[in-house]
Amino acid sequence: MTDIYKRILLLLLPLVFVACNQIDATTVAVSGSDNGKPTPEKAVAFVAAAEAQLAELGQEAERMSWVYSNFITTDTEKLAAVTNERFTARQVELAGEAAKFNDVAGLDFDTRRKLDMLRSGITMPAPPDAAKSAEQAEIGAQMAGMYSKGKYCYADGRCLDLGQLSDIMAESRDPDKLLEAWNGWRTISPPMRKLYARQVELANEGANELGFADLGTMWRSAYDMPPEDFPAELDRLWNEVKPLYEALHCDVRAKLGEKYGTELVPQDGPIPAHLLGNMWAQDWSNIYPLVAPDETGPGYDLSAILKEKKFDAIDMVKTGEAFFSSLGFAELPATFWERSLFVKPQDREVVCHASAWDIDEKDDLRIKMCIKINSEDFRTIHHELGHNYYQRAYNKESYLYRNSANDGFHEAVGDTIALSITPGYLQKIGLLDDVPDASADIPLLMKRALEGIAFLPFGLMVDQWRWQVFAGKVGPDGYNDLWWQLREKYQGIKAPNKRPVDAFDPGAKYHVPANVPYTRYFLARILQFQFHRSLCEISGNKGPINRCSIYGNKEAGERLNAMLELGRSKPWPVALEALTGQRHMDATAILDYFAPLKAWLDKQNEGRQCGW
């Protein structure tokens, strides 16, 4: 499975994986390195056996996760936890076995690459000591419970969970209500701080055992470059797109100053985090009505059109499939239509979060969605099918290579396809009679920027914070101060009030206590526009790339497939070059896409003091 929900599910369910010691006898020590010195021949045999074991266990875990997601009961939850626990426990063991070959010379490219994948493929490596491993598992379970059960109780007795508090953040325009909801959610995380600090110590021990200096080095080692060079590469990408973000920040700050007053929103500093419509100020789309351009909107309502055309869930998915067919991709297998979940069942609980599945890593592709007939789900379907076609493209590769070139590529591919849902595309498939004039693009671009461009610095700084924590550059007493230093540096956002001494605001973001790496989201946002620009060039597009759709262009489809079918068999620069002709990630495509908006923002910002 590749969708982030399922990656999170695999992390969340087997929280006690390190305590699992009942592993089938056939999975014990396959390296042969216990009987003499590790050799290239033993490394090749180890990798082959490891891939076979992981393929079997992974398919079992995939099927059980599917059952759990579609039939949520106490029993299926337990079964899913057990199967995922078994799979993850084996991954942990194999990582340790792979580390025994670290110093073996003379290995061929594929064997060395796969050994490194096995060694670095665990998010939270366990210490070799059994008692410490059990402690690490318990800490993970405790923090997961704190987050999932977290609520804030108001003085009137109402106790609201994250979803309800997030609704207040999205909908309220009362700064006092926003501040209380913002502060309220952050009352759940202070008890996590000591637990998190201990977990860092234990995970670093596990990373050391696998040959890494610390956990951050281990995470960064998965990017086909020296891990010490990776942060600078991210900052290079950020600096390319930063002028657009600063222009957006400046305009949004001015509009919020008009709404709330410049005493609350000073026009020469960071924006208070509680005023941006999102619990973490990572997506500003909920405040669009406050900052919307005066220009005329797109002049059509896709949700209304879909309903007027009497689209149902199958029609929505068939339209998405037709997009890929127009690029030259084969139709989805019959089993896709038989086994996917398209509509929320009335007789049972299911996980409705949209996700794409590859059950047998051959051709048993599925999506799981509770589809609603609206524009958002129309886009989401195109996105999820992007995952499915990627999965099928690399299914001839060996097990460890059946994944995207790096962890940003999979999400980027789906998002790239969604960028081709333009008015021109909608006209070609009969959903629009006429393509609106380019003057209608500014509102559309503004909405997209409030979601995507606003996210970029947040997507960058979460792991920047963690890497410093993992490296021991800051201790528990400095966790919160570092968090807000980075948020101000990258986002131009500040805490709305003085934070308590015991605050642990990073813990109020799910991915921190759940230990889900976050850089992939930043990379996906960069790559989707780079992919889109190249595909538009290949398709012969001569106009603005925000108006380009690759629908119907088989040459673009061939180039896209050339990248997809490589999976992870080559370093990501090779996969990137197969599509774009470039071997480096390039954020300037974002500037090209949003060029009309940037010009508009610059005009709006004349006479304003931008920056923070």
Identified catalytic residue from 245, 394, 479, 521: 521
Identified catalytic residue from 511, 537, 577, 595: 511
Beta strands in 139-218 (DSSP E): 151-153, 159-161
Tokens of 194: 């000591």
Identity at 161, one-letter amino acid code = D
Q: Write the CA distances from 76 to 73, 90, 568, integer angstroms.
A: 5, 21, 32
Identified catalytic residue from 383, 410, 514, 551: 383
Cα(379)–Cα(549) distance, rounded to whole angstroms?
13
Cα(56)–Cα(247) distance, rounded to whole angstroms?
51
Burial of 158 (0-12, 13-18, 19+ CB in 10 A): exposed
Identified catalytic residue from 135, 405, 411, 479: 411
Identified catalytic residue from 50, 95, 281, 354: 354
Identified catalytic residue from 51, 93, 97, 384: 384
> Catalytic residue at 521?
yes
In this structure, are residues 250 and 605 in contact, taking their beta carbons and an 8 Å threshold? yes
Cα(112)–Cα(104) distance, rounded to whole angstroms?
9
> Catalytic residue at 274?
no
Q: Write the CA distances from 97 to 32, 53, 91, 123, integer angstroms.
A: 9, 14, 10, 17
> Catalytic residue at 584?
no
> Catalytic residue at 384?
yes
> Catalytic residue at 410?
no
Identity at 259, one-letter amino acid code = K
Identified catalytic residue from 353, 471, 555, 595: 353
> Catalytic residue at 383?
yes
Identified catalytic residue from 274, 387, 410, 532: 387
Contacts 24+ apart (CB under 8 A), 304-309: 305/426, 305/431, 305/432, 306/373, 306/374, 306/375, 306/378, 306/431, 307/373, 309/431
Tokens of 336: 């896709």
Contacts of 503 (CB under 8 A, 6+ apart): 186, 189, 190, 480
Residue from 210, 154, 205 nearest 180 by CA: 154
Cα(593)–Cα(606) distance, rounded to whole angstroms?
22
Residues noted as catalytic: 353-354, 383-384, 387, 411, 511, 521
